[in-house]
């Protein structure tokens, strides 16, 4: 397959390249375009703008994976509007491109934070009424809603009318761990490596995780198998 991956130089994108490069032709879409092993070419965002149509320089893609976005700022230093400009704005741009392209499958990496900031009960299921807290989760659900606004529900299944042969997957992964991760979990790893005492036993704070390897496996399954369009939560447990 010819697969276009936005945000290909990030944590998830880099691991996806390793997982997919032997069986697929991979292309990037990013704000920078350095050479990357396993990637045929990386395009710039301006290359998919309507002014670039008919985009003769772009290959025909079979699938698009949208990873690019503004990550959750745990220090709360980022302006709220920046999340919407990036997480909503880029999603709108790439999804509109998908609808006009030859690609048949679209995978959007949202976040469990789009559904809720914390879990009430034992499990957070896909049918939860979204109640995000803060600009990160709010911008992610806004991006989801933009996509869903382009779809119809027929017999309980999401349809990309009039493109009945297109499939759309919205993934809401929980905290992802693995090589190259720079998030909160990596900070905890560093504390443990340094032997710093940490009173973890004094807290009741359960978290769900998913490994980057399992995530890559799921993504390839969505791309290569017959799976219905929909919203999917992702966690190892």
**Looking at the predicted structure, is the pLDDT value of residue 32 above 90?**
no
pLDDT digits (tens, 9 = 90+) for 44-77: 998 888 776 555 578 999 999 999 988 766 555 5
pLDDT band at 167 (very low <50, low <70, confident <90, very high): very high
Nearest to 86 by CA among 25, 45, 36, 35: 45
What SS3 class is residue 28?
A: strand
- pLDDT class of 89 with cuts at 50, 70, 90: very high
What are the CA-CA distances from residue 32 to residues 21, 46, 155 (Å)? 20, 12, 42
Q: Which two tokens stand for residue 138?
A: 């709010």
Please tell me the pTM assigned to this model: 0.84
The CA distances from residue 160 to 49, 89, 105, 132, 223, in Å, are: 21, 20, 10, 26, 16
Residue 191, Cα to own-chain centre: how many angstroms?
28
Q: What is the mean predicted confidence (pLDDT) over 84-94?
A: 94
**pLDDT greater than 70 at residue 13:** yes
Query: What kind and span of H or E run contains 81?
Result: helix 80-83
Give the model's pLDDT for residue 210: 81
Q: How confident is the model at residue 205 (pLDDT cuts 50, 70, 90)?
A: low
- Average pLDDT for residues 82-107, to the nearest whole number? 93
| Contact of 85 with 126, CB cutoff 8 Å | no
* Cα–Cα distance list, 113 to 47, 75, 145 (Å): 31, 16, 14
CATH superfamily, with its number, for domain 2-181+209-234? NAD(P)-binding Rossmann-like Domain (3.40.50.720)
Highest mean pLDDT among 9-13, 170-174, 188-192: 9-13
For residue 97, what pLDDT is reported? 94
The yes-or-no verdict on residue 202 having pLDDT over 70 is: no
| 117-138 b/e (C-beta count within 10 Å ≥ 16 → b) | eebeeeebeeebebebeebbbb
Residue 166 in this model has a pLDDT that exceeds 70: yes
Q: Report the chain's mean pLDDT, rounded to a whole number.
A: 82
Q: Has residue 120 got a pLDDT over 80?
A: no
172, 115 in Cβ contact below 8 A? yes
Report the C-alpha gap between 188 and 98 in whole angstroms: 38
Question: Does residue 29 carry a pLDDT above 90?
Answer: yes
d(CA 30, CA 32): 5
């Amino acid at each position: 397959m010819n697969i276009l991956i936005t945000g290909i130089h990030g944590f998830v994108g880099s691991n996806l390249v390793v997982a997919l490069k032997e069986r697929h032709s991979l292309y990037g879409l990013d704000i920078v375009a350095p050479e990357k092993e396993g990637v045929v070419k990386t395009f710039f965002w301006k290359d998919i703008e309507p002014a670039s149509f008919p985009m003769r320089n772009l290959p025909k893609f079979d699938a698009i994976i949208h990873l690019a976005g503004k990550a959750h700022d745990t220090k709360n230093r980022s302006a709220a509007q920046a999340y919407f400009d990036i997480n909503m704005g880029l999603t709108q741009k790439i999804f509109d491109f998908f609808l006009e392209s030859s690609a048949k499958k679209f995978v959007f990496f949202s976040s469990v934070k789009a559904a809720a900031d914390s879990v009430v009960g034992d499990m957070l299921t896909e049918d939860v009424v979204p109640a995000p807290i803060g600009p990160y989760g709010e911008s992610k659900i806004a991006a989801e809603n933009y996509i869903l606004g382009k779809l119809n529900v027929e017999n309980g299944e999401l349809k990309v009318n009039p493109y009945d042969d297109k499939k759309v997957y919205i993934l809401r992964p929980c905290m992802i761990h693995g090589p190259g991760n720079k998030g909160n979990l990596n900070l905890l790893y560093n504390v443990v490596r340094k032997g710093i005492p940490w009173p973890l036993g004094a807290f009741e704070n359960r978290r769900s995780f998913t490994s980057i390897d399992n995530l890559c496996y799921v993504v390839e399954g969505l791309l290569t198998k017959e799976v219905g369009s929909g919203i999917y939560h992702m966690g190892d447990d």
